[in-house]
Chains A and B, each alone.
Chain A
């Protein structure tokens, strides 16, 4: 076989593969469209009606209790659609719900939640989307399958189906073609072929369009996202500045009242020793011993202060060994599992270290735990440094109750890090800290 023949065959095979891919894509789009049309016409419409009724009933009271539940379903439905958009067509739809306000748990908190939800623009946009989804969204979704089915029907008419149908109904309209003879039936078949052609050509595009219109209402715009980001940055920057200013004040006070005062006292005593050394050597020796004790205490104080500013192990060994050393300092066994790819930027290491320290101290002091587990790891995939502290204590830790956990949250916030606490009554308590970052060097 010559080269030309080879190439010829390749081209034919390519062409065949191309057609095959197109048909498969159209069939897939038809299937996806079928799923979406049920979701949009049945589920969205149903949820829209229920939500509107529930909100209307809020004026007479019942709605105040049902609305959070109904809107929860709406959000779940919307989240499902976002997921489909991403999984099927890679259309990213950012959800833009405001962070949940802490509210009383249980049924009693529901009226408060309802009012919060009704004030949120995101709620109203969800409802608009339900309506759009049940109309335009449904049309876009149903077309890929509808065109294929209707086109097939047109061809069947030409094959012979036209006779019994026109016999039964007198005149039958296929789109704009009155089918009453083989000739008009052939015309219908031609039109059917056109429908099928359209479905093959535009099926996936239609489903994609369904998702992009969904994004119009369900997603937040780049501008909105940026606005949120700026708000978040402003807030965390203020927090970070406040925290570091408070830290500096604390260090200043500690030095002023501690080491500085002690050194002054030691200087004075040295003067006394100088005066006494000839006259009363015994008394002078006593003072010198006292001075030595004092200087040791000063060092201890400075050591604690240094540990609070930047722990020496952290400087010498990095985060992994620093949290190991931290675990060894606790008066109970702590199982540590550390797998980190090396060092991180100093501020990140410091924030993570103090966060882990606070979590460990809390577990040791307040939980009544017998055992504590600490895990520190880094996932390169999403650039996430994660530290988990678990204890088998009594649980019930409230991240908003103590200042400690709130402090960690602020500290991590400056690095876009987050703190999650799971602490059901009876335990166990799991504190998870995550900071997005890259290993340094």
Chain B
């Protein structure tokens, strides 16, 4: 799997290259600025891009902007955005086109190499990987009379993991239950929230995120 990586700090770039190589990824390019990233994305057409939000020369949200632009030109181009802080505002912008294949994670998530690599693979495959902090903020906004209050604690837990972009199998492994049990939980959740049921993992996640972002 070919990856384009954009990160301006040498230590982090180096670490990420090593980590991804160790897990069998091919690093097509490791760049350190916005313009270089834009160029690499159009020229190399990677399977997935791993991008730091803040990049030179402007040190604004240049990485995010380049990634969004690239996705407009090539819809569905898988992009995993990394940042020192997560903002719902950015998450919304990434999810806005509804075509999936996006990830938005805190840089700390790299510490858990297995989880991180899993997230990169998921995004490359058209899925999503939302940082638990984003999901918690989204959930926190649904208070007072929200249909979310009708969910059981277990269902809430499943919803949170599902919103992060995990498949039923991954959720089952995480909560140490059978996949069948998770499938039952998810169908309950969808009924309670009034969402149309869907067998497609990715579409299901996007529906949940859209629901959570509604308020």
Contact = CB atoms under 8 A, between A and B. Distances in A.
A329 B112 contact: no
B141 interface: yes
Interface in B106-145: 106-108, 111-112, 137, 140-141, 143-144
Interface in A286-310: 292, 295-296, 299-300, 303, 306-307
B89 A313 contact: yes
Contact of A316 (B61, B108, B111, B112): B61
A317 B60 contact: yes
Nearest to B93: A321
Contacts of A332: 141, 143-144
B111 A303 contact: no
Nearest to B141: A331
Interface stretch (B26-34, B71-79, B80-88, B173-181): B80-88
Interface in B30-82: 53-54, 59-61
**How many A residues are at the interface, by size bracket?**
20 to 34
**How many B residues are at the interface, by size bracket?**
20 to 34
A325 B87 contact: yes
Interface in A326-374: 328-333, 370
B184 interface: no
B215 interface: yes
Nearest to A328: B88
A292 B111 contact: yes
Nearest to B64: A316
A325 B88 CA distance: 7
A312 B137 CA distance: 17
Given A296-B111, A332-B143, A333-B215, A316 B53 contact: yes
Contact of A317 (B61, B141, B144): B61
A304 to B, nearest CB: 10
A312 B111 contact: no
A219 to B, nearest CB: 48
A315 B108 contact: no
A201 interface: no
A127 B50 CA distance: 75
Interface string A195-237: 0000000000000000000000000000000000000000000
B89 A325 contact: yes
B93 to A, nearest CB: 10
A296 B108 contact: yes
A332 B142 CA distance: 7
Interface string B133-176: 00001001101100000000000000000000000000000000
Contacts of B141: 328, 330-333
A262 interface: no
A83 interface: no
Contacts of A370: 144
Nearest to B109: A296
Interface of B: 53-54, 59-61, 83-85, 87-89, 106-108, 111-112, 137, 140-141, 143-144, 215
Given A306-B85, A315-B60, 18 more contacts: A295-B111, A299-B107, A299-B108, A303-B84, A312-B85, A313-B89, A316-B59, A316-B60, A316-B61, A317-B60, A324-B89, A325-B89, A329-B88, A331-B140, A331-B141, A331-B143, A333-B215, A370-B144
13 contacts: A295-B111, A299-B106, A313-B87, A316-B53, A316-B54, A317-B89, A321-B89, A324-B89, A330-B141, A332-B141, A332-B144, A333-B141, A370-B144
